[in-house]
Amino acid sequence: MAPVEDHPLRYQLANELHARPFPSMRAPCAAAYVAFKQPEMAASRDRAADLDHLHKLLDRHGVAHPQPGATHYYGQIGRYWLKWEQHTEFVTYTIFSDGVEERAFDPRAFDPFPEEWLADAPGQRVTSILVRVEPRMEAEALRARLREWFVPESLAVSAVLEDAAVMAGDFRIDQNGHMRFAVFTSEGTGQRRVGRIVQRLCEIETYKSMSMLGFARVRSLGAQLGALDTRVTELVESMSVEGSRAEQTLQALLAISAELETVSAQSSFRFGATWAYEAIVNERIAALREDRFEGRQTFREFMVRRYQPAMRTVRSAQDRLEAMSARGVRAANLLRTRVDVERSAQNQALLESMDKRSDLQLRLQRTVEGLSVVAISYYAVSLAGYLLYPLEGPTGLSKNLLTALVTVPVVLGVWWLVRRLRRSVEK
């Protein structure tokens, strides 16, 4: 029996689901996280540059490189663990360390990332995060830390995963340029569960930042869309004015429609990415299964109040752009109909003018035919006269009389021949 043939990608696709495991973390510990994105055309960037940048960091610690074409890496560098992931538009680096600094959210947690190496990154920093993980303490001590570490006005705190931990963050960038999140783990919480919480927090912040790029795009388009909307409105209103030039208006509308299509094409990827990132943010928050902690706002409530309005603005701008494009197309179709009607009227007038000219030409032709009958008859009578002159002696008739006798038959004959020739041509 012949062996079953496997699809060439079977193992690769199956292993992809297990290629990026959650880290194992035990309190107290910390994580330093940074994400880079190229400013333009990030989805089609040279991904080899991402790997080269990773190799430079690994070379500093004498660590072996991952396989060529790798999209993720997890390994030890010195006394730290490094996790690297390559995504559609960005790459992320996470340093995991045991223990915590005495000073909360000490920027020295980023020391494993050398400054010159960070400056040489193939892209710009989208976000950077410091996560501090401690064992859960008494309620009063926990409150004191929250007051000391975060801004109360935007602080979000919640118990997650059936009270396995309490996570907190204010989504503000501190004086060192980093976001801050704290995780207080309950007794008995497993190391992988702690790692999942930390990774979810990093993903929530990263995908939130990436989706907000759509909001920035909408802001930059605001003035342009407003100007285009005004121009479309003015052109549509001018369509109802008598005497307006439909063809000129149609050309102006087509130019606006082309500009709208250009804007739509340039923004379609960013809008699609925004909705994908927004969905991931909501999924990651849902996966943490939040419960309210001491009446404070949860991460989901923070997103509803601060993040979702921005996403609704992006959706509204996308809908507006689509509506303007459809409006321009409808107006252009109406103008095309008007232009077609005007051209039909012009063609009809042209045909009528051609009919009149044809009638005049026919009358002129008949006049010319009459004159031609006279001319031909004159020459025919002359020729007939020359033929009959020899009969002058035998018949005793004069030349003038012979000419007069043949004139009428010759003229009638010529007229009959010309008329027959004209009818044969008309057929």
The Cα 57–Cα 54 span in angstroms is: 5
The Cα 371–Cα 376 span in angstroms is: 9
User: What number of other Cβ atoms are within 10 A of residue 124's Cβ?
Assistant: 12
From the list 226, 387, 218, 420, the residue with the least C-alpha distance to 312 is 218
117, 57 contact by CB (below 8 A): yes
Tens-digit pLDDT profile for residues 171-190: 999 999 999 999 999 999 99
Amino acid at 104: A
The Cα 155–Cα 141 span in angstroms is: 17
pLDDT of residue 250: 74
Residue 307 pLDDT class (50, 70, 90 cuts): very high
Tens-digit pLDDT profile for residues 376-392: 776 676 777 666 667 66
Tens-digit pLDDT profile for residues 228-245: 888 888 777 777 665 556
CA 317 to chain centre: 13
Token pair listed for 379 = 């020459």
Token pair listed for 160 = 């997650």
Is the predicted pLDDT of residue 297 greater than 80, yes or no?
A: yes
Residue 292 pLDDT class (50, 70, 90 cuts): very high
Residue 58 pLDDT class (50, 70, 90 cuts): very high
324, 264 contact by CB (below 8 A): no
From the list 372, 19, 35, 21, the residue with the least C-alpha distance to 203 is 35
- DSSP 8-state symbol, 306: I
156-160 β-sheet, strand order: 72-77, 80-86, 90-98, 29-37, 124-135, 179-185, 165-173, 156-160, 291-292
Quick check: helix, strand or coil at residue 20? coil
What distances in angstroms separate CA 50 from CA 11, 136, 250, one per listed residue? 25, 38, 49
The Cα 414–Cα 365 span in angstroms is: 17
pLDDT of residue 124: 94
pLDDT of residue 241: 62
Helix ranges (DSSP H) in 174-240: 191-238
385, 403 contact by CB (below 8 A): yes
Element (H, E) at 47: helix 47-60
Quick check: helix, strand or coil at residue 265? helix
Helix ranges (DSSP H) in 303-398: 308-388, 392-395
Count CA atoms within 13 Å of residue 326 on its CB side.
6
Task: Please report, rounded to a whole number, the percentage of residues in the chain having pLDDT higher than 90.
Answer: 52
CA 60 to chain centre: 41
pLDDT of residue 121: 94
Polymer length of the chain:
427
What distances in angstroms separate CA 257 from CA 264, 317, 323, 333, one per listed residue? 10, 17, 11, 12
Is the predicted pLDDT of residue 15 greater than 80, yes or no?
A: no
Tens-digit pLDDT profile for residues 128-159: 999 999 999 999 999 999 999 999 999 999 99
The Cα 144–Cα 146 span in angstroms is: 5
pLDDT of residue 392: 64
pLDDT of residue 417: 74
The Cα 227–Cα 223 span in angstroms is: 6
Q: What is the mean pLDDT of residues 109-124?
A: 92
From the list 141, 185, 180, the residue with the least C-alpha distance to 162 is 185
The Cα 261–Cα 275 span in angstroms is: 20
* Cα separation of the two ends of the chain: 84
Q: What is the mean pLDDT of residues 202-224?
A: 93
Is the predicted pLDDT of residue 293 greater than 80, yes or no?
A: yes
The Cα 389–Cα 282 span in angstroms is: 121
Element (H, E) at 268: helix 246-287
- Report yes or no on whether pTM surpasses 0.95: no
Collect all residues with Cβ–Cβ distance below 8 Å to 38 and sequence separation of at least 6.
Answer: 45, 89, 122, 123, 124
